[in-house]
Structure 1
């Protein structure tokens, strides 16, 4: 069993080289030649393998600390080379992602990636004009909806004001009836007193005659 201080370093470096080879195959193959979802899937696999390669470099940096100083410089050079490879494929992956994003944007806008005209070919202009017309029509409909909403709000406010006025009239009528009831009660009390005063003298005369 190999127990040399460079055993783990060599193992991590070997794993790194295998991952880099796999990345190279993808970025020079499917990620370049395929289109659509297949290309995106290839780039996702590249991203996963780049993370694995990054982890291998980190492990190599840890293991180099236990390598004797006499042979450490050569291993440091190997780490430097591994980092350079990793950065190169990270940049290539980033460029390929940018190409995919640009292609998606152009396909969604209906423009041709190779068109030199600012708005593409004549049919692209037609689609652009049609889109503008749709936007303008939508804006007009939105303004009309806002106008109707304002009118409805004003009508609702008028109805509320009318109901408030009717409520005040009913309240005033109740107050008037209440005051009328009070006045009637008072008048009734006054009449009752007057009747009693008129009746008492007659009652006294009748008593004397007896």
Structure 2
């Protein structure tokens, strides 16, 4: 199996599209007409699939970092489209959850029996309705908070990936600098060795000249003094 970043990106994107199509079928296709517990089960399944799709988008962000800049533009476009589709179905799922909760609340209110002789019956029903509405609003706030946290985590992960990439480039630059320094050191070492050899040659020549002059002086003295 091809393990290049581009090939992995394609594979993860294919998995993402499969999950998105499943979500679309449940929210906008045949699953849209389901009612009651079937609808609730479908929405729970959508939540699980949205989490899986979210994880795949995070993996797409990781893989795109390794794609060369020369061919990266279409992959960036595909990643943006994947994020847009994910956010679209997150919002749609949230709205449908709210509608389902509101429908259950209003259905329970309408099906409840009220004793006309009980002066507190209507007030009790209204209290339950207000409490249910508050619970629904609280759930919506929690969902919004979770979505915001997920987006912050996603941005933080992208920042970490950019930082790691910058550090990798710095390491590669340092390695190239060290290789260049090694080349210069090798050249300098060769130059120094040549200078040392030249120094030895000059020393031998000077020693030979010294011996020659000593012999010459001794010869001259011999002829002057002895003869």
* TM-score bin (small chain): 0.5 to 0.7
Structure 1 unmatched ranges of 5 or more: 112-123, 137-210
Tell me how far apart the structure 2 counterparts of residues 79 and 42 of structure 1 sit (CA, whole Å). Answer: 27
Provide the TM-score with structure 2 as the length reference: 0.49
Q: Structure 2 matches for 1:14-163, cutoff 5 A? A: 14-29=14-29, 31-110=31-110, 127=114, 129=116, 132-133=119-120
Structure showing greater radius of gyration is 1
Q: What is the Cα deviation at residue 131 of structure 1?
A: 5.6
Cα displacement string for residues 78-118 of structure 1 (whole angstroms, at most 9, x for unaligned residues): 1000000001111111111011011111011117xxxxxxx
* Residue 107 to residue 128, structure 1, CA distance change in 2 (3 Å): farther
Tell me how far apart the structure 2 counterparts of residues 5 and 135 of structure 1 sit (CA, whole Å). Answer: 64
Higher relative contact order (Cα pairs below 8 Å, separated by 6+ residues): 2
* Residue 34 to residue 3, structure 1, CA distance change in 2 (3 Å): closer
Q: What value does the CA root-mean-square deviation take over the aligned residues?
A: 2.4
Corresponding residue SS for 1:43: helix
Q: Structure 2 matches for 1:194-205, cutoff 5 A? A: none
Tell me how far apart the structure 1 counterparts of residues 36 and 73 of structure 2 sit (CA, whole Å). Answer: 45
Corresponding residue SS for 1:80: helix
Q: What is the Cα deviation at residue 2 of structure 1?
A: 2.8
Cα displacement string for residues 27-74 of structure 1 (whole angstroms, at most 9, x for unaligned residues): 124542111111000000000000000011000000011000111121
